[in-house]
């Protein structure tokens, strides 16, 4: 498969530092406003300039790699290196960086196992990214043993509860830290899964505005929150807000995978096939996962490019064989195959495997849909009931439920 990754040209650290100083010098109003606008208020703080931190990521990593292992018992350098690797993965989509992040976090914990809260958190972050949710629980529980009142760690544990289908556990933690802004993103996910999309949108919007107001927020993180807001808008049927949110995310971080994915999805839904193709091509250049490749193939087919669409579908199968060894894309692959009626037995097998890894409502929905498409109607009926057990209003889950109910009631 040809290499399509875009490799940005990196300016020198001195140029970036100078640019940052100019941006801050031109922004005195925000510095005074931080104390005037409480984070929980409804007033919108002035957005900070975007910190171009991704442009020095390679240099930061190279420096830390040069220092790693020099001092016996050094737990700080590998922990910092783990965080940088994981952030580079979020920016560029190379799963090799997640494996490097895991290895570096384990080196930090070997150097200091007791009370190494940041090392535990770094290891948990890498394991979550690899969808090893049950394995991630141990370091988070250990970190919380040392820092039980730290809301960020509690939010990480609540996020794990959601991935594993433990809504009650997530609710307990959210209740214990009620009102803490650190919980906004996790509380939004909980609201989304329990049929409260408007509340989910409000919480993400608050988190987004808070992150936008802080210069040191990584650019990718700011873009992720805008993309998450766009995703919730799309699910709610507000395509204009979804498109604006995705474009805002891309203005912050130009090759943000999630934002490009949402933009392609909205354009496809609105019949803007050429725009969808453009967004999908950019997303594929970041990470050729089954979802963006599938949207690219659909856009190509809609534009009357059957040969290109067929080649792109072949690439999806190549990704399944070669690029999904860690099973991170299992759910995306299963849903694409089920939606398009290809390799439906394979889709059902993959969805069953994914459910064993994480048991949230979306895993149940994926199992239900792939079971239905492959003729396992009894499994589909039980799985879709589980997906709906918490009152989710997700229109995709509802559509799957309607199809399954119509067939089962015959």
pLDDT along the chain (410 residues), means of 10: 35 34 32 38 72 96 95 94 97 94 98 96 96 94 96 96 92 92 94 93 97 96 98 96 98 97 98 98 94 96 97 90 74 92 94 89 94 96 93 89 87
Of 193, 191, 259, 186, residue with least CA distance to 220:
259
Distance CA 114, CA 36 (A): 40
Distance CA 373, CA 369 (A): 6
pLDDT of residue 5: 33
Distance CA 321, CA 331 (A): 15
pLDDT of residue 18: 32
* Residue whose structure tokens are 């790693």: 68
Pick the CATH number of 1-37+46-148 from 3.30.1490, 1.25.40, 3.30.1220, 1.10.10: 1.25.40
CB-based contact 182:211 (threshold 8 Å): no
pLDDT of residue 204: 97
Distance CA 396, CA 235 (A): 8
pLDDT of residue 175: 93
Domain ranges of the chain: 1-37+46-148, 329-410
pTM value? 0.84
pLDDT of residue 410: 67
pLDDT of residue 323: 56
CB-based contact 260:282 (threshold 8 Å): yes
């Amino acid at each position: 498969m040809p290499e399509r990754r875009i490799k940005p040209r990196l300016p020198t650290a001195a140029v970036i530092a100078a640019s940052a100083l100019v941006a801050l010098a031109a922004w005195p109003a925000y510095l005074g406003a931080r104390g005037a606008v409480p984070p929980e208020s409804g007033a919108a703080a002035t957005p900070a300039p975007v910190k171009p931190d991704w442009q020095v990521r390679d240099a930061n990593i190279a420096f830390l790699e040069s220092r790693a292992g020099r001092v016996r018992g050094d737990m700080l350098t590998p922990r910092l290196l783990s965080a940088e690797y994981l952030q580079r993965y979020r920016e560029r989509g190379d799963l090799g960086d997640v494996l490097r992040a895991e290895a570096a976090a384990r080196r930090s914990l070997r150097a200091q196992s007791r009370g190494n809260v940041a090392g535990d958190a770094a290891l948990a972050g890498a394991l979550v990214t690899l969808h090893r949710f049950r394995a991630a629980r141990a370091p988070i529980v250990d970190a919380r043993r040392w820092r039980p009142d730290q809301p960020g760690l509690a939010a990480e544990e609540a996020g794990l509860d959601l991935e594993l289908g433990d809504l009650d556990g997530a609710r307990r933690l959210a209740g214990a830290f009620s009102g803490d802004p650190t919980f906004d993103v996790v509380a939004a996910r909980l609201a989304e899964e329990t049929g409260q999309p408007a509340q989910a949108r409000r919480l993400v919007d608050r988190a987004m505005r808070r992150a936008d107001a802080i210069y040191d927020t990584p650019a990718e993180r700011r873009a992720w929150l805008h993309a998450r807001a766009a995703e919730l808008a799309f699910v709610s049927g507000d395509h204009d807000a979804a498109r604006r949110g995705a474009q805002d995310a891309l203005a912050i971080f130009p090759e943000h995978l999630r934002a490009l994915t949402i933009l392609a999805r909205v354009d496809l839904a609105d019949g803007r096939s050429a725009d969808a193709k453009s967004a999908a091509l950019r997303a594929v250049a970041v990470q050729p996962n089954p979802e963006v490749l599938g949207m690219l193939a659909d856009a190509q087919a809609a534009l009357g490019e059957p040969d290109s669409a067929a080649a792109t579908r072949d690439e999806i199968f190549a990704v399944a064989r070669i690029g999904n060894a860690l099973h991170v894309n299992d759910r995306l692959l299963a849903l694409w195959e089920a939606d398009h009626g290809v390799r439906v037995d394979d889709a059902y097998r993959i969805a069953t495997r994914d459910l064993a890894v994480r048991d949230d409502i979306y895993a149940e929905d994926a199992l239900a849909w792939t079971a239905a498409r492959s003729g396992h109607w009894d499994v589909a009926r039980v799985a879709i009931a589980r997906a709906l057990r918490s009152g989710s209003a997700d229109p995709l889950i509802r559509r799957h439920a309607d199809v399954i109910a119509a067939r089962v009631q015959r």
